[in-house]
Chain A
Amino acid sequence: AQKVTQAQTEISVVEKEDVTLDCVYETRDTTYYLFWYKQPPSGELVFLIRRNSFDEQNEISGRYSWNFQKSTSSFNFTITASQVVDSAVYFCALSEDSGNTPLVFGKGTRLSVIA
C-alpha cells in the first residue's frame, strides 16, 4: 500500500532563513510519481512539482528546490531565503501510476515565516 509521511507538523523560521520540508514515501510499485502542493490560507491547493520515479535529478525553480533520493524513499523540499508569502501548509503526495490515479497525500507541514 502507498503511504506518505511528513514527520514535521509545524515549522517556524525567520524570514530569509532556508528551510527544508521532509517527505518519506512507501510504495511497492517501481513506477510512481511524487508531488508537492502548497495550501495557502485561502484553502486552494496549488501544484508545485511532479517527479517520476525514474528521474532522480534534483530540480531547482527559483527559491525552491527538490531532492529526490530513491535509496531513502525521500522527496524533500527546500525553500531558500524564505519569505512571509511562503507561509502555508505544504503537502507531499504520491501516485502509483501516472496522473489520473488518485493522489495519496501526507498530513502536511505548516510553515510559518516570521518577518
Chain B
Amino acid sequence: GAGVSQTPSNKVTEKGKYVELRCDPISGHTALYWYRQSLGQGPEFLIYFQGTGAADDSGLPNDRFFAVRPEGSVSTLKIQRTERGDSAVYLCASSTNLNTGELFFGEGSRLTVL
C-alpha cells in the first residue's frame, strides 16, 4: 500500500508477556518515528530512526522498551514484561529527509495489557 502500515491493529496480552509491534513505512522515507497515545492524550514521542540508527531514543520510558530498524525500512517496537500501564495506541510515522516536519502516520496498534 501507499501509506504507513502497522501490525497488528489490535493486540491483547497478559501482564508480563513480551510483545512486538511492526511498522512498515512509506517506501523511500528515511525517517521513522514511534509515538504512544493514551486515551484522551496527545501522541507522546518514544523513538526516532534516521535510516538504520536510532537518532533519538529519549522518549522510551524504561529499558523494557526497545526498537529496531535493521535494514532502514521496517521497524519493530519490542516491549518486554508488559505492564497494565503500557496499554495504549502505538503510532508509527515516517517522513522524508527534507526536514518538512510533515509526518505520515499509520493507524496505530492498540495494545491492551490485562
Using a CB–CB cutoff of 8 Å, the interface residues on chain A facing chain B are: 4, 33, 35, 37, 42-47, 50, 91, 93, 95, 98-108
Contacts and interface: CB of A to CB of B under 8 A. Distances in A.
Given A44-B107, A98-B101, 16 more contacts: A35-B101, A42-B107, A43-B108, A45-B93, A46-B105, A47-B104, A50-B101, A50-B102, A100-B48, A100-B95, A101-B56, A102-B33, A102-B59, A103-B103, A106-B42, A107-B41
A44 B106 contact: yes
Contacts of A108: 40-42
Given A50-B100, A102-B33, A44 B45 contact: no
Nearest to A45: B105
A69 to B, nearest CB: 20
Interface string B8-50: 0000000000000000000000010100000011111100101
The 9 closest A-B pairs by CB, nearest first: A105-B42, A99-B101, A99-B99, A102-B45, A98-B99, A45-B105, A47-B102, A44-B107, A43-B107
Contacts of A93: 42
Contacts of B67: none
B100 A105 contact: no
Task: Bin the interface of chain B by size.
Answer: 20 to 34
A43 B56 contact: no
B7 to A, nearest CB: 14
Contacts of B91: 45
A33 B101 contact: yes
A98 B42 CA distance: 20
Contact of B103 (A45, A106, A107): A45
Contacts of B101: 33, 35, 50, 95, 98-100, 103
Nearest to B106: A44
